[in-house]
Amino acid sequence: MTTIKGPAIFLAQFIGDKAPFNDLKSICKWANDLGYVAIQMPTGDPRFIDLKKAAESKTYADELKGTIRECGLDISELSTHIQGQLVAVHPSYDLLFDAFAPEAVRGNSKARTEWAMQQMKYAAKASQNLGLTAHATFSGSLLWHTFHPWPQRPAGLVEEGFKELASRWLPILNYFDECGVNVCYEIHPGEDLFDGITYEIFLEKVKNHPRACLLYDPSHFVLQQLNYLDYIDLYHERIKAFHVKDAEFNPTGRQGTFGGYQSWLNRAGRYRSPGDGQVDFKKIFSKLAQYDYSGWAVLEWECCIKNSEDGAKEGAPFIRDHIIRVTEKAFDDFAKSGNGKNFNRNILGLDKE
């Protein structure tokens, strides 16, 4: 077994235009002062990382890593959630998702997809240059609008959608493999990879690619009422990244999993700061330790009630208190009475026959 690394914090929800959240050194010092030992780095803001440069220049990658280590931190993973989303976008979402892309490719879905795929390859090489082995991202989606279909889905639609998704991701996965880095898909509503079955369909289409791995976030499973502990039993060999994010689901006679188009505050299912929701993190950390998860425990703050800075302040001790320093011996080792093949055969009475 391996002791989970942490606490780490995902910076995406904290980056902003005011200090200390508008500068790499400042935000790293802020995180370290709160007790974090690593950051999960989003890659879309040039104030924090030039992704292309990190891919093309080992010197720049070393300098970036050095700057972060001067603040007492490591990088747990890079994140391309935004770029991964843009690998596959259904046309009905073009207008909304164009805002995630550079102006030069907006209004041109083919160019936007090519840009996103290139970004993913930059992320693979940048991760390699930074000495990272896992990368956090989204799968994108061509089928999400049909998840509760009316009218019914035509025969072969899901097959065709995942075939296309796999064709876009296979060259990316192969490049990540060349770089020695796992792609960790965050299984998430709005993505075509949103539960275990959809992940299995995708995995089959990419021929069980060894780099098609998982970012485990139990909060998304609470909202869709999926058993998040059984999920670890099923997919632990593929889980290479972990978001510590809480959630709660409180259905009423008026709304359930779909949420009635309500705001996050008023939905039956909503995200909360760790410890404020319904996720059993003690069991999660135990299972991950049992299955030898060797990656990071990363706070992702998304709460519709609590202030983000308070959530970050509470998150570091929460994770630290849940990390299990795994045992190096069995609890009953003190009662050993002997060992060896001959000793075992004598216990079985085999040498006395």
- Tell me which residue has tokens 């302040």: 313
**Secondary element (H or E) of residue 165:** helix 157-179
Q: What residue type is assigned to position 226 of the chain?
A: L
Contact 3, 289 (CB under 8 A): yes
Stated pTM of the model: 0.95
Q: What is the pLDDT of residue 348?
A: 86
Q: What is the pLDDT of residue 118?
A: 98
Q: What is the pLDDT of residue 211?
A: 98
**Secondary element (H or E) of residue 24:** helix 24-33
Q: Which of 203, 185, 187 is nearest to 195 (CA)?
A: 187
Domain boundaries, the chain: 5-352
187 φ/ψ angles, rounded to the nearest 5 degrees: -75, 115
Q: What is the pLDDT of residue 290?
A: 96
Contact 180, 210 (CB under 8 A): no
Cα–Cα distance, 47 to 44 (Å, whole number) = 9
Q: What residue type is assigned to position 89 of the chain?
A: V
- List the pLDDT tens digit at each of the 353 positions of the chain: 889 999 999 999 999 999 999 999 999 999 999 999 999 999 999 999 999 999 999 999 999 999 999 999 999 999 999 999 999 999 999 999 999 999 999 999 999 999 999 999 999 999 999 999 999 999 999 999 999 999 999 999 999 999 999 999 999 999 999 999 999 999 999 999 999 999 999 999 999 999 999 999 999 999 999 999 999 999 999 999 999 999 999 999 999 999 999 999 999 999 999 999 999 999 999 999 999 999 999 999 999 999 999 999 999 999 999 999 988 887 777 778 778 888 888 888 897 65
CATH code of 5-352, in short, is 3.20.20.150
Q: What is the pLDDT of residue 352?
A: 67
Cα–Cα distance, 79 to 275 (Å, whole number) = 24
